[in-house]
């Protein structure tokens, strides 16, 4: 049981940009603006000009319902949009179209790897809203003489996923964000690599104080850092006999500290009222059909991998934790040529995918840097016992660093495994040249055998199979 000594309670509000839709949420402007000049994809609606009328993007509502279902939420009977009134230059019309009562869905949960094993984090609600524009500062925000505004982002469909305050440490908050992103990737509703795809506000309190809301967190690591800082800050305030007040704080990413922005505004400050230009939507009837389109989600896939392929649970967890690797693994098994299918052990494939992941990570590369066919060739060379495991690693590294093909590298580096006579000869020589080790072994020192195996490997330049060499040695030593 995790004791949570400081009584930490963390809840997260995550703004997910549904950026795989073709058009924005209330107008026909494209969502494909990321490589275009600022303010090149705007219209009266997303610029917030007076009198412009919004029209809901049905696909955006469907995507929002899909996410709600995947987060185990109940989809509401009907949903309604509201105006949230506040002034900020990124939203010139003076209000944001968002939701208040009757959000798309509510009452779900996500299972994360918590401080004490599996831990359920409740999802309070998931509601839709429009994204404001993007503010750009020359240099840093506190030194910039002016602010530039790009409204290309304005009007993008957002889904705000609000969690219950169920996370008990910054680590759990990070795990939650990882899991949420993982699920979203499977749903194919957002591209996490695009600017602003996932933005986090964090609410955190410790025992004896009120909560602080931290804004401007742009990464999962940033969330963990901001929360770690905030726990120390709040504890220090209480230790000095002070009061932790309800407030909104800004995370300064460069300095890794949080700074007070303002006392926390409350719902009534925003004068929410129903958006008169959008009718309520009766969505309960949509849910069953959308549920049919839900793909197999990470947890289910992880369980299936363990059952179907007999791999370890932590291997299945690591594979399914990133959609590209889960797909890579299964595509890889399917692509195996018939003649090798018999010998193909999924466990072997996982082990080598893990090696590949490590080598890619070391070089800061993604899976695109390595052809699947090359991995197939390497495993074929391995299962047909033509190369050793060391040889396989050598091929992977050479391919990543210099390119070429597995066959070329095998020929160039002389990686073909040596067997039979060559190994016997090497063993005989090793015995002859290391009388002391032989004597030690015969005197009962088991370890001496390892140095003899080492001598054989050295003579064959690592191309003998260490286990086979050991067998031959044992035979000859009697």
Determine if residue 287 is left, alpha or beta; phi over 0 gives left, psi from -120 to 50 gives alpha, anything else beta: alpha
Residue 194: name its binding partner from Mn ion, Zn ion, none (Cβ under 5 to 8 Å by kind).
none
Q: SS3 letters for 22-76?
A: CECCCCCCECCCCCCCCCCCCCHHHHCCCCCCCCCCHHHHHHHHHHHHHCCCEEC
Q: Which is nearer to Zn ion, 55 or 148 (CB)?
A: 55
Cα gap 204→51, rounded to integer Å: 40
> Which string of x and - marks every residue 115-144 that binds Zn ion (by CB under 5 A)?
------------------------------
452 binds, among Mn ion, Zn ion, none (CB under 5 to 8 A by kind): none
Report the residue number, 157 or 409, with the smaller CB distance to Zn ion.
157
Residue 27 binds which of Mn ion, Zn ion, none (CB < 5-8 A, kind-dependent): Zn ion
Q: Name the residue nearer to Mn ion (CB basis): 131 or 465.
A: 131
SS3 15: strand
- Strands 247-252 and 212-217, by their bridges, are parallel
Number of residues located near Zn ion, criterion CB under 5 A: 5
CA distance 446 to 455: 15
* DSSP-derived 3-state class of residue 17: strand
Long-range CB pairs of 51-54, under 8 A, 24+ apart, other chains included? 53/277, 54/26, 54/27, 54/97, 54/275, 54/277, 54/278
Residue number, 27 or 70, with CB nearest to Zn ion: 27
Q: Which one, 81 or 102, has the nearer CB to Zn ion? A: 81
d(CA 156, CA 276): 20
Q: Which partner in Zn ion, Mn ion, none is near 423 (CB below 5 to 8 A by kind)?
A: none
CA angle at 294 for the pair 289 and 296, rounded to the nearest 5°: 150
Q: Going residue by residue from 314 to 343, which x/- string records binding to Zn ion, judged by CB under 5 A?
A: ------------------------------
Q: Which residues contact 40 (CB under 8 A, 6 or more apart)?
A: 33, 152
Find the shortest distance in angstroms from Cβ 191 to Mn ion. Answer: 20
Which positions from 39 through 78 interact with Zn ion, judged by CB under 5 A? 43, 45-46
Q: Which does 160 bind (CB under 5 to 8 A by kind): Zn ion, Mn ion, none?
A: Mn ion
CA distance 332 to 340: 12
Sign of CA dihedral 237, 238, 239, 241: positive
Site map (CB under 5 A) of Mn ion, residues 151-190, x = contact: ---------x------------------------------
Q: What's the rounded Cα separation, in Å, for the pair 134 and 149?
A: 6
Which residue's C-beta sits nearest to Mn ion? 160
Question: Restricting to residues 186-225, which ones interact with Zn ion according to CB under 5 A?
Answer: none
User: Which CB, 27 or 121, lies closer to Zn ion?
Assistant: 27
CB 333 within 8 A of CB 349: yes
Helices (H), 71-166: none
* Torsion of the alpha carbons at 42, 47, 51 and 52, rounded to the nearest 10: 30
CB 41 to Zn ion: min, Å: 7
Which pair of tokens denotes residue 452? 């003899």
- Decide if residue 157 touches Zn ion (CB under 5 A): no
Nearer to Zn ion, 93 or 302 (CB): 93
Binding site partner of 351, from Mn ion, Zn ion, none, Cβ cut-off 5-8 A by kind:
none
**Residues of this chain, 19-38, that bind Zn ion according to CB under 5 A:** 27, 29
The interface partner of residue 64, options being Zn ion, Mn ion, none and the CB cut-off 5 to 8 Å by kind, is none
Distance from C-alpha of 440 to C-alpha of 449, rounded to nearest angstrom: 9
Instruction: Quote the least distance from Cβ 24 to Zn ion, whole Å.
Output: 5
Candidates 383, 385, 455; CA nearest to 426 is 455
Residue 46 contact partner, candidates Mn ion, Zn ion, none, CB within 5 to 8 A by sort of partner = Zn ion
Nearer to Zn ion among residue 43 and residue 474 (C-beta)? 43
CA distance 352 to 239: 52
**Count of residues of this chain found to bind Mn ion when the rule CB under 5 A is applied:** 1
| Least CB distance to Mn ion at residue 18 (A) | 14
Task: Give the nearest distance from C-beta 330 to Mn ion in angstroms.
Answer: 37
Return d(Cα 105, Cα 60) in angstroms, integer.
14
Between 151 and 325, whose beta carbon lies closer to Zn ion?
A: 151
The residue (of 43 and 477) whose beta carbon lies closer to Zn ion is 43
Residue number, 14 or 69, with CB nearest to Mn ion: 14
- Point out which residues bind Mn ion (CB under 5 A): 160
- Point out which residues bind Zn ion (CB under 5 A): 27, 29, 43, 45-46
């Amino acid at each position: 049981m995790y004791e949570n000594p400081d009584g930490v309670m963390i809840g997260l509000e995550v703004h997910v940009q549904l950026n795989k839709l073709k058009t924005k949420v209330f107008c026909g402007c494209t969502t494909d603006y990321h490589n275009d000049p600022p303010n090149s994809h705007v219209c009266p609606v997303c610029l917030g000009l007076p009198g412009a009328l919004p029209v809901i993007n049905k696909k955006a509502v469907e995507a929002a319902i899909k996410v709600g279902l995947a987060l185990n939420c109940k989809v509401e009977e009907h949903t309604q949009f509201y105006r949230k009134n506040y002034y900020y230059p990124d939203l010139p019309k003076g209000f944001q179209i968002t939701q208040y009562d009757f959000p798309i869905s509510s009452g779900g949960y996500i299972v994360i790897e918590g401080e004490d094993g599996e831990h359920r984090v409740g999802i309070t609600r998931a509601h839709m809203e429009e994204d404001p524009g993007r503010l750009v500062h020359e240099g840093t925000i506190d030194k910039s003489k002016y602010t530039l505004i790009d409204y290309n982002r304005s009007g993008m469909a957002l889904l705000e996923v609000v969690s219950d305050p169920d996370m008990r440490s910054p680590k759990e908050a990070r795990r939650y964000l990882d899991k949420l992103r993982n699920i979203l990737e499977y749903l194919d509703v957002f591209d996490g690599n695009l600017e602003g795809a996932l933005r986090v506000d964090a609410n955190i309190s410790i025992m004896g104080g009120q909560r602080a809301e931290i804004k401007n967190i742009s990464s999962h690591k940033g969330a963990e850092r901001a929360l770690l800082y905030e726990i120390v800050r709040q504890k220090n305030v209480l230790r000095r006999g002070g009061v932790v007040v309800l407030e909104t704080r800004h995370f300064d990413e460069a300095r890794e500290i949080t700074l007070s922005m303002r006392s926390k505004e409350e719902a009534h400050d925003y004068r929410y009222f129903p958006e008169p230009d959008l009718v309520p939507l009766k969505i309960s009837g949509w849910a069953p059909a959308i549920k049919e389109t839900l793909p197999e989600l990470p947890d289910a896939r992880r369980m299936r991998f363990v059952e179907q392929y007999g791999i370890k649970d932590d291997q299945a967890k690591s594979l399914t934790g990133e959609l590209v690797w889960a797909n890579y693994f299964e595509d890889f098994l399917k692509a195996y040529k018939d003649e090798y299918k018999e010998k193909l052990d999924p466990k072997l494939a996982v082990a080598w995918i893990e090696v590949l992941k490590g080598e890619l990570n070391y070089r800061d590369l993604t899976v695109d840097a390595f052809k699947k066919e090359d991995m197939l060739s390497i495993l074929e060379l391995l299962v047909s016992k033509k190369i050793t495991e060391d040889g396989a690693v050598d091929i992977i590294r050479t391919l990543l660093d210099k390119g070429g093909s597995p066959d070329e590298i095998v020929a160039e580096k002389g990686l073909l495994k040596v067997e039979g006579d060559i190994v016997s000869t090497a063993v005989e020589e090793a015995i002859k040249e290391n009388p002391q080790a032989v004597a030690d072994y015969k005197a009962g020192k088991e370890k001496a055998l390892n140095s003899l195996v080492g001598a054989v490997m050295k003579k064959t330049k690592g191309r003998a199979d260490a286990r086979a060499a050991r067998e031959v040695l044992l035979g000859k030593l009697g």
